[in-house]
Amino acid sequence: MRKEMLLPAAAVALLYLVLALLRQAGVIGIYWGQIVDLALITTIQAVGLSLIYGFAGQFSLGHAAFYGLGAYVAAFITRTQGGTPLTFALALLAGAAVAGIVALIIGLPILRLRSDYLGIATLGFGIIVKVMLDNADKLSPVLGGARGMAGIPRLTTFHWVFWLAVLTILIARNLVNSSHGRSCIAVREDEVAADIMGIDTTQFKTLAFVMGCAMAGLAGGLYAHLYSFLHPSSFDFLKSFDVLLVVVLGGLGSLTGTVVTSIGWVFLLEGLRDVLGQQFLDWRWVVYALILIAVMIARPQGLMGGKELSLDMLLRRRAARGGADHGAA
């Protein structure tokens, strides 16, 4: 492991130990522990869309459909094959794989479209998946159809979601910093210019789309085994706007912004639930919308504005500031 990776790895391990100990000691209760798990699952899903929209520039409105496909595939496997840890791991892989394969199949034709046309095409696919899930009981009674799928073993734990979230972020970071990632960014900035320079734009758009959708499928599998119940309404096309807002608010082209905003978004909604109380629960969506409007007016480029934040960067800035202060003295 390179030296520059030691400090971030140590920080991640320390964060894991602190959160695990706080949960074990009861400082973080069952309810808020589940919210932490949901925030990490949302992070995995949002990082996937960040690859598609933030780095490759492909406007997708069907991300929730792949989230749902991964959830139903993983839940079906554990329901029929048992809820052992090995089965759970295979179910998560299957959910991610199915979402990625479906993304490849539909991505090859629709990714030739651009801008709004691509958004409309992915939106149509999201509606198709929602209708399929509503009638999934005709394929197998286990899937539940419009009634929802119940009896899913509760296998998602903090250990699973934390390390899979770390793995997802690491994969996305390595892709973005590779030559393939730079090609995706070139496509985002100017697809015509990238094509003239010899970049196979369709290939790299498909790469980002497949990887991002596979991450959504992985997040869906974790979600299914966190709440033990699935309903098609949880994966309709409107849910795609939630994760899209997270990516935009975090800053297009910023994994750091996506991660921070994903966690903040989940805790914001739950915090508003507690502040407003049951009587005014529906008003939290009004407060949430006002906060979104205020953030977009104050900082239209998003939280990070396409920049990344790392421990190494903070330490270098601190060292540079200390050196400047010493020189001035």
CB atoms within 10 A of CB 137: 16
Distance CA 219, CA 230 (A): 13
List the domains of the chain with CATH numbers: 9-312 (1.10.3470)
CA of residue 87 relative to chain centroid, distance: 23
Q: Tell me, what's the pLDDT at 96?
A: 96
What's residue 164's pLDDT?
A: 96
**Residues 279-296: tens digit of each pLDDT:** 666 776 777 778 778 877
Res 33: pLDDT: 92
pLDDT at 325: 54
**Structure confidence at residue 317 (pLDDT):** 56
Q: How many CB atoms lie within 10 A of CB 255?
A: 24
Residues in the chain: 329
Q: Token pair of 113, please?
A: 């479209």
Q: Residue 149, SS3? A: strand
Contacts of 34 (CB under 8 A, 6+ apart): 226
pLDDT tens, per residue, the chain with 329 residues = 566 677 888 889 999 999 999 999 989 989 899 999 999 999 999 999 999 998 988 888 899 999 999 999 999 999 998 888 899 999 999 999 999 999 999 988 888 887 778 889 999 999 999 999 999 988 889 998 889 999 899 999 999 999 999 999 999 999 998 999 899 889 888 888 888 888 888 889 999 999 999 999 999 999 999 998 999 999 988 888 889 888 988 888 889 989 999 999 888 888 777 766 666 667 767 777 787 788 778 888 888 776 777 655 555 555 556 555 555 55
